[in-house]
Amino acid sequence: MTSPIEQTLILVKPDGVKRRLIGEIISRIEAKGYHLVAVKMIEPELSLLQAHYREHEGKPFYQPLLDFMQSGPIVAMIAEGERVIEGFRSIAGATDPTVAAPGSIRGDLARDQGTKVVQNLVHGSDSVESAKREIGIFFPELKK
Ligand code: IDP
Ligand code: MG
């Protein structure tokens, strides 16, 4: 079976930056064997985050999520490799860090902080379509 080379959007969320975990997270992505093809630290505009998280509009954690994502700088990255979308979500672990598998980024390094939005260190695109959309939102300068 041959797998196509994919790209995925990865974010180190503000909790990861504040906790000095950028290096640890990048190390795990690289150790797994994926290539980073773009990396930048940004403080995203509200409109960018609204576009990125539009699928969650109306959910109880939507506004807390936007506030949290604007609470400090984030690191946006594009990682590349065969099945990287699925592979990064596997090394990131489940959304809820309390039960994310030990060995995963969220399972090893995050926990419930009692906040309205789950603070879980990283974002990773969940499909080829979302990856394309999200890379376009965070890296408009790379549009071909
Ligand atoms: P994912 O990041 O694992 O793909 P999504 O369901 O896409 O999870 O949710 C986006 C983000 O919103 C999560 O990473 C987390 O920070 C937050 N979130 C998701 N579900 C909940 C919830 O039920 N309560 C509080 N925060 C949530
Ligand atoms: Mg998601």
Annotation says 123 is catalytic = yes
Ordered by where they begin, the domains of the chain are 5-139 (3.30.70.141)
Predicted TM-score (pTM) above 0.85: yes
Ligand 1 binding pocket mutation candidate from 117, 122, 127, 134 (most atoms within 8 A of CB): 117
Listing DSSP states for 8-53 in one string gives EEEEE-HHHHHTT-HHHHHHHHHHHTPEEEEEEEE---HHHHHHHT
Q: What does the pLDDT look like over 48-91, one tens digit per residue?
A: 999 999 999 999 999 999 999 999 999 999 999 999 999 999 99
- How far is the centre of ligand 1, averaged over its atoms, from the C-alpha of 108 (Å)? 18
| Residue 45 CA, ligand 1 centroid: distance in Å | 20
Tell me the pLDDT tens digit for each residue of 104-119: 999 999 999 999 999 9
